[in-house]
Amino acid sequence: MELTTKRTSIDDVVIVIPEIFRDERGFFTEVYRQDQFKNLGLPEVFVQLNQSGSIKGVLRGLHFQWDPPMGKLMRVTRGNAFLVAVDIRKGSPTLGKWFGTEASPENEIQVWAPAGFARGFCVLSDYAEVQYLCTGVYSNKCESGIRWNDPEVGIDWPIKNPTLTQKDQSAQTLTEWLKRPESNSFSYSKKRL
């Protein structure tokens, strides 16, 4: 089975597309395979798998972690969701730019965004489940977020009045984050995957 990738408008954010075998019984796919990820320039080691379930209109994000740095490979296993990654790397030519795409079990796409990106999603179907493989173990002392509707970022969310946690409603702006010393944890590299 072969994994393929599709570039996006932002360096290092990649759509990963697994090959799917379908027959009358259903389907089979390899979501992650170390040798193929290595050959594609993607991370080879993931240390945590998270899964969330949310009802229509829920928006989670935009979250990130600086210590240990956490990249995420996101996929939707049930329903439909709009997956988003925002570049928060100082010195990046795409600082503050975002990439978003609709994902579902039917299109089987996954979105890879390394450390230095804030990630989030909103649920478009009645219910959706999202999984993310992470390159770092969660640390509540070294995680934060960017406000979902920060006008400096300007994400064109496909929902207008999302259901949010209080934490996500009161998240900082990108400008506020960039003034914090922790923002120096992420640096831009010209190397493209």
| Catalytic residue numbers, as ranges | 63, 132
The answer to whether the beta carbons of residues 116 and 88 sit under 8 Å apart is: yes
SS3 182: helix
| Cross-strand pairs, 5 | 16
Strand ranges, E, within the chain: 3-7, 14-18, 20-23, 26-29, 48-55, 59-65, 72-78, 81-87, 98-103, 110-113, 117-123, 127-134, 143-145
- The alpha helices in the chain, defined as continuous H runs, are 34-39, 166-169, 174-178
Number of H helices, E strands in the chain: 3, 13
- For residue 138, how many other CB atoms are within 10 A of its CB? 13
Cβ neighbours for 99, distance < 8 A, ≥ 6 positions apart:
8, 9, 10, 13, 84, 85, 111, 113
